Each structure stands twice: as structure tokens, then as C-alpha cells.
Amino acid sequence: MEAKIVEKQVEAYIRQLLPERDAFFAALEQTAEISYIPIVQPEVAQFLRLMIALKKPVRVLEIGTAIGYSASLMALAMQAGEIDTIELSDEMAAAAQTTFQKMEQSFERHASVRLIKGEAKTVLEALDAGYDMVFIDAAKSHYKAYLNLVMPLVNAGGLIISDNVLYKGTVADDALVPKKHKTIVKRMREYLTYISTHPSLTTSVLSIGDGVALSYIKEE
Ligand SMILES: C[S@@+](CC[C@H](N)C(=O)[O-])C[C@H]1O[C@@H](n2cnc3c(N)ncnc32)[C@H](O)[C@@H]1O
């Protein structure tokens, strides 16, 4: 799928404004590229840093660890506190553990990261409440199920950030949807309608990266 959600030159312009990343993250980006592992795009990484600077979360939950790129960048942005991150794949979980060990050796101040191996929906049912921010970045067809399990775990005033919600632009245009992606796109549209109309949420859908939805849990 070639379709993108912003023009290439706009994306390139925005990216050259981003702060230079250090060797630790550059190495992870290279690993991800070589092995075709999807990680957050640079402007989404910066958006997560910004949300952490604004919200100052103490407890963060991530669904979808992969090699631990986004969890590490959030841990460093937080400087203290806790991140729980959930990953289904044994291979990814092993790679992420290595990443977290390197992060701990390379940087003095960071949140402590707990990797929870397992299927997200099963893990979510067993977690203790009290998160300030959640990053959803796993199986796109299951975002609505994740959200319904996550909402009781998040403090009022908390943030839920969902990645890849515009799915290379296909969510906005039927003509761009290859047959094999029709179900994912249909479910993502349902998810976006759900979070945009949910009475307990205020949501903004942003056309950065592959599309990011920022949802704020209203304080009643
Ligand atoms: C897009 S990657 C995560 C990238 C990571 N957040 C980053 O930016 O560095 C999605 C990950 O979710 C994991 N995943 C997919 N379905 C899952 C499920 N049902 N439960 C837990 N993890 C799942 C995949 O194995 C994959 O590693």
C-alpha cells in the first residue's frame, strides 16, 4: 500500500525539525528497518515525548511492545515512575528485554519498565487500575476491545493514545483499501467513531505518522 496521509515533502519538512536522536535510538531504528518491524514514526515518537512532558504520568501502559522502541523513549521522557508494556510474541519480548537492559545501562534516569508477555486482552483483564496514560499500538482490529478493557484502568483526566488509526490513509478513502485490508479498515472506522462519540472521552484525530488518536478521559 503506497498511500500516505501527508505529502512526502511535508513529512520530510516536519522530520528535519525534530531533535536529533542519539545512538541508542538510531540503532533500534536500524534494527527495525532491517527486520521490517513496525515502530512508531519519528513525529509520533516526538508526540509521545510531548504528551509525557505535559501530562507528567507516573504510571503508563503500552499495548504492543515490539523491540521496546516506544517504551524506551517513554521511559526516558518520564525519567521516573513505571511503564507496563504488553507483548504477545516470544521473539519480540526477548528483543525488548535486551533493549530495556541496554537502556538501563546507558541512561541514569528512566521509568522502570515491566514487560508483560501475553495476549493483550487476557493481560488487561488482570491489571491493577491507576494508569495516567495508555499507548495502544498492537492488533488494529482489536482497538475497540482494548479500549473497553483499558478505560476502567485509567485515572480520570488520563490520556489514551492510539497509533495507526488512519492506516496509510485507507480509513478515509474506500478507493485506497486493498481487499485483504477491508476488515481492518472497517473496524478502525468503527473504532474512530466510537472514541469520537464516547460520552466519557474527548478525542482528537491527528494526521501525523500513520494517524494518531488522542483521547482524554473526562473528569466528571
Ligand atoms: C506496531 S508493533 C509495536 C511497536 C512499538 N509500540 C514501538 O513503536 O516501538 C505491534 C506489536 O504488537 C504485538 N501484538 C499484536 N497483537 C497482540 C496481542 N493480541 N497482544 C499483545 N501484543 C500483540 C505484535 O507482536 C507487535 O510486536
Report whether pLDDT(158) > 90.
yes
**Which residues line the annotated binding site for S-adenosyl-L-methionine?**
40, 70, 87, 119-120, 137
Domains of the chain plus CATH, in order, are: 8-217 (3.40.50.150)
Q: Whose CA is nearest to atom 11 of ligand 1?
A: 64
**Model confidence band, residue 2 (pLDDT cutoffs 50, 70, 90):** low
Mean pLDDT of 37-61: 97
Alpha-carbon span 197 to 136, nearest angstrom: 18
Is the C-beta atom of 28 inside 6 A of ligand 1? no
Question: 61 C-alpha to center of ligand 1: Å?
Answer: 13
Report whether pLDDT(146) > 80.
yes
Report whether pLDDT(174) > 90.
no
| The three grid cell numbers given for residue 33, joined into one nine-digit string | 528497518
Report whether pLDDT(101) > 70.
yes
Is the C-beta atom of 137 inside 6 A of ligand 1? yes
Measured from the Cβ of residue 208, the count of other Cβ atoms closer than 10 Å reads 18
CA dist 119 → 13, 85, 167, 196 (Å): 38, 11, 22, 26
Mean pLDDT of 34-53: 97
Mean pLDDT of 125-134: 98
**Model confidence band, residue 63 (pLDDT cutoffs 50, 70, 90):** very high
In terms of DSSP H, where are the helices of 87-207?
A: 90-106, 120-125, 143-150, 182-197
Report whether pLDDT(88) > 90.
yes
| The three grid cell numbers given for residue 36, joined into one nine-digit string | 521490517
Report whether pLDDT(50) > 70.
yes
Mean pLDDT of 147-163: 98
Mean pLDDT of 164-175: 88
